[in-house]
Each structure stands twice: as C-alpha cells, then as structure tokens.
Amino acid sequence: MTRLITDPAEAAALLRAGELVAFPTETVYGLGADAFGGRAVAAVFAAKGRPHFNPLICHFPSAAAAFDSDVVADDRARELARLFWPGPLTLVLPRRATSRVDLLAGAGLDTLAVRVPAHPLALEMLRAVGRPVVGPSANRSGSVSPTTPAHVLESLGGRIAAVLDGGPCTVGVESTVLDISAGGAVLLRPGGVPVEAVEAAIGPVGRPVPLSAAEATRSLRSPGMLLSHYAPSLPVRPDATEVGAGEALLAFGPTPLHGAGALWNLSPGGDTQEAAARLFAGLRWLDAEGQRLGLTRIAAMPVPTAGLGAAINDRLARAAAPRR
C-alpha cells in the first residue's frame, strides 16, 4: 500500500531506508529515491517502466551541496544557480570523478543533471536526507506527468512506499534542462524557466530538434529528447482551429472553439503561466472524460510560444507524436 504522508522528515527517513517516495516540487511530483543507492535507483526505473538509457535528475537542497561533491560548476553554472535556484532549471554539468551518485542514475554518462527545487517541503526533505535524491516525474514512463498526489496514486499507487502531500504544483510543467557541460549551452528541454531568461544571463542557447526513440537510443548525449512523451491514451491533435466529430477540446483563451464533447480551458484569460499549471491536469481530465463519453481524440487550440508557452507547445507536440 502506498501511504499519503505530510511530514518531510518521515519522507527522508523512508528514502534513507532505500524506499521510493514521491515528493512535491514546483514543477511536477518527483519519484524520489536515494541517488547513492543502486537498488533504490534501479527500483525507480522499474516502477516507472523507464528505459535505462534515460538518466535521472539529482535534486539537492542548495547549489553548494551539488557543486561541492557531485558536479563541476564553472562561472556560468554559478551565475545561473544564483539567478534561478531554487527553481525550475536543471543544469547538465561534468560529473566529478569522486561523485557517489549511482552510475545507473546518470545512465553511465560523464555528466549529471542537477537541480534545487523551489518547494518548501522538498527542500526540508532534501536537507533531512543529507544526500542527493533522484526525482524523475512520478508517473509511468511516457504518460502525462502528475501535478497532484491523486495523479501520483493513479499512476504508481501500490508500487511506491509513500507520497509526500504538498498540494497541487504551482508551475505545472517540468524544469528547463540546459546542457552547459561543454563549451556552449544547449536547451535539452524547454520548461519552467523561459529560455529567454537564460539567454539574458549567459548569452545564446542552442536548440536541437527532438529525436525519435531510435535516434535517441543511438545518441546518448540527449537521451531524454524522445519525440513521443507526456501522452494521454487518446490521440492529441495540436493547433486545432475547429473541432471535429468525436473530439474533446483543450482550449486556450477567451473564445474556445465550439462543438467539443468535453472542454477544458487552460486559461480563459490567455495567460501562459496559468495554462502551464493546468496543462497536465487538463490532459488527464479530458482523457478520462473523453473515454467515458466515447470520444476518440483531444484537439488542442494553439498556445502562444513566448514565456512558458514554449514548454506547453513542446509537451503538446510530444503528446501528439507517433507512439513508440
């Protein structure tokens, strides 16, 4: 049985004992495990059904905790940490030879992805654990990320020890993943920190194209850039300008399209921040409601690409991509 708990110290004790505990962050719920524990890390991949070539993000209570023991931080990393941590920015940095993070957690790469989350319960838990905690999204691999404890239980109930209840996530899309392990800076995933804000701090950031599963397996530099991800059961049709027969509608803005069998408006006021926070709950609800009503597809209205819109469009494109 998976327990719902509210005490970060209890979550930390479970993690130190090698158990899996889902925990709240500002982005989505993470599936926590002791990053030094080989069995715990392997259990994360098993619980999620996650391919082993896709490495995990290590979470720390402070930049110093990450930079002193597990990764090498240059001036850009320190500046980005100063500006955006705690917060939804993940940095891919060279791994220290002395790091005790389990090799499977890093998929055997010579880099590690690190982040300090902006959630008081997560930070309290991380301080109490006293070592890094891996935290991929707390859902089965490839499906929609969880933004409430109920979402976690739907996906992983019975497979993990506990969920630390921190209420709904405020940002709602995953962290921005930025690779600065070599000379340049490459955006591996748009997310909670707009790439424009990163560029204002460190200059131009490269944007690679997403890979198919086959290409990603071959190219270990960016294993998480799978084209199909974040997918509900019903197919998704992005950039909808009208609603077809049998479609549910993921709307955006004051004038949702007419004729949908089920409607979820991401933000009637047209605010991308509100839309990000409501995205995954909306996809889950339309998926369940659509199936209950016998609908066959989710049409998604266009969302502007500025700010958090980039991350929203990225998730919708992956939800709509051909399934593996």
111 binds, among Mg ion, ligand AMP, none (CB under 5 to 8 A by kind): ligand AMP
Complex with Mg ion: residue 137 or 181, whichever CB lies closer: 137
Q: Which of 21, 22, 24, 54 binds ligand AMP (CB under 6 A)?
A: 54
**Toward ligand AMP, which CB reaches closer, 74 or 239?**
74
Integer angstrom CA distances of residue 28 from 44, 173, 191: 16, 6, 11
**Which of ligand AMP, Mg ion, none has residue 57 at its interface (CB below 5 to 8 Å by kind)?**
ligand AMP
| Contact residue for ligand AMP among 112, 236, 301, 317 (CB under 6 A) | 112
Whole-angstrom Cα Rg for the chain: 19
Q: Which does 166 bind (CB under 5 to 8 A by kind): ligand AMP, Mg ion, none?
A: none
109 binds ligand AMP (CB under 6 A): yes
Span of 135-143, 156-164, 176-184, 194-202 interacting with Mg ion by CB under 5 A: 135-143
Residues 274/264, Cβ–Cβ less than 8 Å: no
Query: Least separation, in Å, of the C-beta of 322 and ligand AMP?
Result: 19
Among 113, 125, 162, 283, binds ligand AMP (CB under 6 A): 113
Count CB-CB contacts under 10 A for residue 96. 15
Shortest Å distance, C-beta 79 to ligand AMP = 20
Q: Is the CB of 106 or the CB of 282 nearer to ligand AMP? A: 106
Closer by beta carbon to ligand AMP, 137 or else 147: 137
Q: How many Å apart are CA 48 and CA 142, to the nearest integer?
A: 9
**Six-digit token pair at 77?**
């990393």
CB of 300 to ligand AMP, least distance (A): 21
Is 137 a binding residue for Mg ion by CB under 5 A? The answer is yes
Stretch 116-155 residues interacting with ligand AMP (CB under 6 A): 136-137
- Asked whether position 174 contacts ligand AMP by CB under 6 A, the answer is yes
* Residue 236: strand pairing partners: 298
224 is a site residue for ligand AMP (CB under 6 A): yes
The piece of 63-71, 103-111, 115-123, 238-246 that touches ligand AMP (CB under 6 A) is 103-111
Nearer to ligand AMP, 216 or 249 (CB): 216
C-alpha torsion sign, points 294, 296, 300, 301: negative
Binders of ligand AMP: how many residues, by CB under 6 A? 20
The residues of the shown chain that bind ligand AMP, judged by CB under 6 A, are 54-57, 92, 106, 109, 111-113, 136-137, 174, 177, 179, 188-189, 222-224
